[in-house]
Amino acid sequence: MERIASFCVDHTRLLPGMYLSRQDGDVLTWDIRMKLPNQGDYLSTGAAHTLEHLFATYARNSAWSQGVIYVGPMGCRTGFYLLTRGLTPAEALALTVESFRFMASYDGPIPGASEVECGNWQDMDLPAARAEAAAMVPVLEALTADQLHYQD
């Protein structure tokens, strides 16, 4: 089988940040890397699940909602993918910064966290999710739209 694009990134050199992972026509896939790969410090499942619910809900209710296709966690638990259409890199970055600020300060019921709405609704950890988002905010705030690419 052909090797997929995300496996072509050198994960031994990857730092926390936001990167354009791939472009398929007008769909942009953003790699929002929160953890250093293969270093033993990963998002807990409860934190990742909570962040997924908060990030997706916020993004789909933001000023950029029409450009949001998908928000979801990486299986390796080092970050998230954000798929957009029609958003500039600056808009995708602004959306991500706003989303992480929102998640870092969120204190309320987790959207979609009920037996009817979610297949594993009890596996949530809001305090851990807030802490992970808060740690990522300064990383994202330090970026500019022209820096959203993998380093060679």
Determine, yes or no, domain membership for 151: no
List, as one string, the DSSP characters of 23-66. Answer: EETTEEEEEEE-S-TTSS----HHHHHHHHHHHHHHHTTSTTGG
Determine, yes or no, domain membership for 150: no
* pLDDT one-digit tens code per residue, 42-52: 999 999 999 99
Determine, yes or no, domain membership for 149: no
pLDDT attached to residue 152: 63
Residue 41: which domain range? Answer: 14-143
Contact 16, 34 (CB under 8 A): yes
Residues facing residue 27 across a β-bridge: 24, 85
- Structurally, the chain folds into a number of domains equal to 1
Flag whether pLDDT at 66 surpasses 70: yes
Q: Which of 52, 66, 39 is nearest to 133 (CA)?
A: 52
Contact 100, 137 (CB under 8 A): yes
Q: What is the CATH number of the domain that holds 34?
A: 3.30.1360.80
Flag whether pLDDT at 36 surpasses 80: yes
Determine, yes or no, domain membership for 130: yes
Answering whether pTM is above 0.75, one says: yes
